[in-house]
Structure formats: structure tokens, C-alpha cells
Amino acid sequence: MPFMHNGLRASARAAAACIPSARGLTACVLVAACLLGTGAAAAADVFYGADAAWFRDDNVAKAQAHTDILADSGLAAAGSVGLVLSARERDSFALGAELRTRQYRRFHGLDMTGLGANLSYRMKFGLGAYAPRAAVSFAAGPERYGDGLRNGWRSRLALELGRRLNDRWDISGGYGVDRFDADNVPPPLPRFGRDVYSLQGRSLFARAEYTFNERWLALLHLNFRRGDVLSSSRPSVPVFLASSDIAPDAAFGGSYFAYKLAGRTASARLGASYALSPHSSLNVDLTREVTASEGPLGYRSTLGNATFVYSY
């Protein structure tokens, strides 16, 4: 029964193949950034921002069995800077770089520091705040983890369409392809790969924001992802049989293994944002994630965040 979801995985991989090489595209982004930045620096508007968050994940290993579920919390921070280049009246390019980190209280193998470059193209179909808009964005960069095993390059390509309906409602939705290429892949076992940390998938997402007043805003973000899932747990026959790749996972102690499964993940993020100033806000959100894999396999997790955001 292993590879029962090979069709699912194959389709996800076909979609993710739209991202041919994270490193190659990152290089393209950087070259484009340099060219556009040099050529249009005079017409560029600079943006920068930072955020700091406390988070808690009640199933950080993404395990199914109750005895394998582990919770953890930690702190995250990010800083970004970039340029917006308005090519014409109704469209613009944004080039940016981001440095982010995520530090766990217990499982330091998951501690992550990442550097990312991103390029996006935004277009408005008309004039004014209520004109429909579209954006294509690509982001990629290396991530370094505490356990070293998870090191790799993450990349994401997304297309988003949106529209502000009125002063209260803003809606958007889109399609995204994500990919993570692990740096260190141990030699494969017979019949099983060990490239467990290399993942790819594709997503459909929808977002709605509702403004209560000048300060308060609520948001709902729905995401449906189909593709590889990384789950860590103690050895389990059903998980073992359903997995394509398996490797020991030192981040949760010697008894845990990381399994790569094909699955469908639905997540809903509900949040509220309070504007402290025109440039800063306090945000709280809760994300409920449900993943279904082969047969009865699957997991549920809830992630909470409290985030301070500043941008200019």
C-alpha cells in the first residue's frame, strides 16, 4: 500500500514543477532586482517593515496518535525591505528581501532562520480603491534549522485576484505552488526514499477582511492544499506503509521518525487586527489545520499567534 497516493503526489509534483529550481529562480529574482533597481531607482518607492510574534502550536510534530502529539510555543520575528517600481499608472513591481527567524521553547531542532527574496507584479483593472486587482508573486530563499536535517530552500509562486467591495469588505483568492528542496538527503533505504524533508504542493486560497472601524479589522483565510505532508511520530505500521520517504527525526528525540505522506490539508485562519497607528498593529489569530492522508491517516493541529506588525 505504500505509494497508494502516488497519483496525488504526482499531480502535486507536476504542479510544483512549475517552480523549476528555487535557486535558479532566486538568482533570476536577484538579477531582476538589480536591473530594475538600477534602471528605475529614481522612480522607486521604498518600503520596509518588521514583525514580532509569540506563537503556540498544539501539534508541532504533525502526529496522528494522541501519544505522539507534542505541543510547543516560541517567538518569531521578521524584517523586510524592498522597492516598489510603478511601471505604469495601474501596475507595479515590488522587489524585496526578508530575514526571518522562529525559535521554539522546547524543540530547538525546529528553530529556523531564513532569508528570502521576493518579486511580485501587481495590477489594477481600473482606477480607484474598488478596482479589481491581480498579483503574481514569487518568493524563495534558504532556511537553516536547529537540527540541520531540515535545511533547504523554500519557494512559492502564487497568483492572486482580489477586490475591495466597499469600505468594509475586501476579498481575494488565488492559486499557489510551493516547494521545499532539502539540502541534505541521506542515501535511500531499499524501496524507500529518505528525502523526507523535500516537499511540494499546490493550494487554493481565499481571504476576506472586514473592517469594523478605523482601528478594528477581522479576517478569515481559507486554504486548501494538496501535496506532500511531513509528519513525525513514533514508528507506526499504517504511517510506515503509507509513506514514500522515511528518516529519523532527531528534533523530537531518538524515538521519532519523519514520514512523507501525500495528503490534503484544509486550514482556516481566523484573526483580528487592532491598529495602533497608521503604520503598526497588534494581531491575534488562530489557525485550525486538518490533514487527511491515506485511509484513516491524518492529523489536526491548532496554531495561535499574537503578532506586532510595523510597516512603512
Give the C-alpha separation, 59 to 134, whole Å.
35
Closest separation between CB of residue 117 and other proteins, Å?
13
Which is nearer to other proteins, 76 or 250 (by Cβ)?
A: 76
Residues lying near other proteins in the complex (CB under 8 A) = 43, 45-47, 49, 51, 53, 82, 84, 86, 89-90, 92, 94, 96, 118, 122, 124, 127-129, 137, 164, 167-168, 207, 209, 211-215, 217, 219, 221, 269, 271, 273, 275-281, 283, 285, 305, 307, 309-311
Which is nearer to other proteins, 160 or 294 (by Cβ)?
A: 160
Closest separation between CB of residue 16 and other proteins, Å?
21
Which is nearer to other proteins, 85 or 246 (by Cβ)?
A: 85
Sequence-separated (6 or more) residues with CB below 8 Å from residue 267: 222, 223, 225, 287, 288, 289, 290
Sequence-separated (6 or more) residues with CB below 8 Å from residue 284: 271, 272, 304, 305, 306, 307
Which is nearer to other proteins, 150 or 269 (by Cβ)?
A: 269
Whose cell is 506563537? That residue is 55
Closest separation between CB of residue 227 and other proteins, Å?
20
Give the C-alpha separation, 193 to 153, whole Å.
19
Which is nearer to other proteins, 70 or 95 (by Cβ)?
A: 95
Closest separation between CB of residue 128 and other proteins, Å?
6
Closest separation between CB of residue 184 and other proteins, Å?
30
**Amino acid (one-letter) located at 188:** P
Closest separation between CB of residue 140 and other proteins, Å?
14
The total of other beta-carbon atoms located within 10 Å of residue 191's CB is 7
Which is nearer to other proteins, 52 or 241 (by Cβ)?
A: 52
**What DSSP string describes 41-69?**
GGGEEEEEEEEEEEEEETTTT---SGGG-
Q: By three-state DSSP, how is residue 257 classified?
A: strand
